[in-house]
Structure 1
Amino acid sequence: MGKLLIVTIDGPAGVGKSTMAKRLARELGIPYLDTGAMFRSVAWKLGEGSWEWDEDKLKSELASFEYTLSGIGEESILSLNGTPIGNEVRTEEVGMWASNMATLPVVRSFLKEAQQSLGARFSLVAEGRDMGTVIFPEAPRKFFLDASVEERAARRFHQLEQMGKPADLEELKEQIAKRDHQDRNRAVAPLKAADDAVTIDTTELDKEQVFATLVQEMQK
């Protein structure tokens, strides 16, 4: 078996990480790992307010969680206890719950081990908040995508509009700014670019331009 390839793509909420990570994974013929979905699934499974539980209770609940991964690129399937993680974790509310969960060392430690375990078995394009800084610091290719709060809110607004879900643009801006502040300023593994990551500001770029930049960097 050849050496496994790990590519990391980090960045704040709504910057287009998922779309780019899936496409790049397909281009490389390897699985895509959505680590944000792992935090969301913990929050969704345990429910509102679970981030306020004591550490022993959280550890006990997390001990029953097992993640598996199959497929390639957009067809990659991340499952929790044998059940694929779906759109039930993709709401703005669960996103805020996940951000709360991400401040807890016990949750981060558990998911770090789960993510590294998957990375030890598969080549991956791993997408998240601290893939290049904490989870896979030795990854040979690291990217950090960013964009303005206004642009990210607008993208999310149009996405929800296309899904037929009503949304308020100003409220989305506030939610994204709040998550940014929490993610960038948390004591454990704050959101930031790895020192050796290639940072791409996507505010003025379309999807094809961002993807072309990723591929160009991979070919170096």
Structure 2
Amino acid sequence: MPFQGANSLTPFWINTLSIPVITIDGPSGAGKGTLGLWLAKALKFHLLESGALYRLSALAAQLLGVDDSDEQQVADISKQLDVSFIPKGDGVAVMLNGQDVSAALRQEDIGMAASRVAAFPSVRSALVECQRNFVKAPGLVADGRDMGSTIFPQAEAKIFLTARAETRADRRMKQLEDAGLAADYDKILADIKARDENDSNRSVSPLVAAPDALVIDSSDLSLDEVYDKALEYIRLKIQLS
């Protein structure tokens, strides 16, 4: 099936019939990032971690000396982001203009700026175009919250990866404890439930499983089991070389 930008917010054209797109959507803590990384490495596909793009827009604006309250300038920057996500060991190096900015993206001020720019409709529209520009041979694995439902509605393979809120809170607790950081389970669980509620009920691109997506609940599955289920499904949907 040719990949087309149905219902696109911005013009989207791609001059090929052969570039497969795999989308992975779902709530925070379900394992989307790990699954996306494993699939991209195994299939040798390009990778898009859409959740980083608002932070990247904020960082790019900061580096250019642009006030992040200037919607039009930030939108112009977002439209022209030179970004790539490079699998590196067990993680991903986020590259901006050829420089690894993975550490800079984790800074608190960048997170706060990302929240501000995410509120701008023109920035959101610009990033739709930015994300669709990631579709390049031999293929793309895109993870996020609206990849299959909004950004790539005609993707050949769509996965919605979820898990119980309690399971995701347990995973987050372990991450923090392994990093030697203090963690409050009740607060983590409350934050996860609040974010789920907000994501599922927002007016623009709510967190929903696309009708044609494979839903995988990772609550009681190992990462290997999730990966095997996903790869089996992808092989049914996409002819892999």
Per the TM superposition, whether the score is higher than 0.5 is yes
**Cα separation, partners in 2 of 1:64 and 1:211, compared to 1, 3 Å:** closer
The Cα shift of 1:105 comes to 2.3
Identify the residue that residue 83 of structure 2 maps to in structure 1: 67
Question: RMSD of the TM alignment (CA)?
Answer: 3.1
My pick for the range that moved more, 169-178 or 101-110, is 101-110
- Rounded Cα–Cα distance in structure 1 between residues aligned with 2:211 and 2:112: 27
Q: Secondary structure at the match of 1:119?
A: coil
Identify the residue that residue 33 of structure 1 maps to in structure 2: 48
Identify the residue that residue 150 of structure 1 maps to in structure 2: 166
**Cα separation, partners in 2 of 1:62 and 1:28, compared to 1, 3 Å:** closer
The Cα shift of 1:191 comes to 1.0
**Amino acid in structure 1 at the alignment position of 2:39:** L
Aligned length: 218
Q: Secondary structure at the match of 2:134?
A: helix
* 1:25-174 mapped onto 2 (5 Å cutoff): 25-43=40-58, 53=69, 55-56=71-72, 58-59=74-75, 62=78, 65-70=81-86, 77-90=93-106, 98=114, 101-120=117-136, 123-174=139-190
1:89-124 Cα shifts (integer Å, max 9, x gaps): 347996687566545422221111111111146611
**Are positions 1:6 and 2:21 aligned together?**
yes
Identify the residue that residue 6 of structure 2 maps to in structure 1: none
The Cα shift of 1:206 comes to 1.5
**Cα separation, partners in 2 of 1:215 and 1:64, compared to 1, 3 Å:** closer
8 Å CA contact 1:69–1:118 kept in 2: the answer is no
The Cα shift of 1:55 comes to 3.3
Structure 1 stretches lacking a partner, 5+ long? none
- Rounded Cα–Cα distance in structure 2 between residues aligned with 1:82 and 1:166: 35
Structure 2 stretches lacking a partner, 5+ long? 1-15, 237-241
Q: Secondary structure at the match of 2:161?
A: strand
1:152-206 Cα shifts (integer Å, max 9, x gaps): 1110110121122222111211222222222212211111111111011111111
**Cα separation, partners in 2 of 1:217 and 1:29, compared to 1, 3 Å:** same
- Give me the TM-score of the superposition, normalised by structure 2: 0.76
**Amino acid in structure 2 at the alignment position of 1:56:** Q
> Would you identify which runs of 4 or more consecutive aligned residues in structure 1 move more than 6 Å?
91-97
8 Å CA contact 1:32–1:73 kept in 2: the answer is no
- Rounded Cα–Cα distance in structure 2 between residues aligned with 1:178 and 1:96: 18
My pick for the range that moved more, 120-129 or 138-147, is 120-129
Quick one: which of 23, 29, 35 aligns to 2:38? Answer: 23
**Cα separation, partners in 2 of 1:152 and 1:215, compared to 1, 3 Å:** same
- Give me the TM-score of the superposition, normalised by structure 1: 0.83
- Rounded Cα–Cα distance in structure 2 between residues aligned with 1:34 and 1:28: 16
Identify the residue that residue 9 of structure 2 maps to in structure 1: none
The Cα shift of 1:41 comes to 2.7
8 Å CA contact 2:76–2:126 kept in 1: the answer is no
**Cα separation, partners in 2 of 1:219 and 1:64, compared to 1, 3 Å:** closer
The Cα shift of 1:147 comes to 0.9
The Cα shift of 1:219 comes to 2.1
**Cα separation, partners in 2 of 1:209 and 1:68, compared to 1, 3 Å:** closer
8 Å CA contact 1:8–1:136 kept in 2: the answer is yes
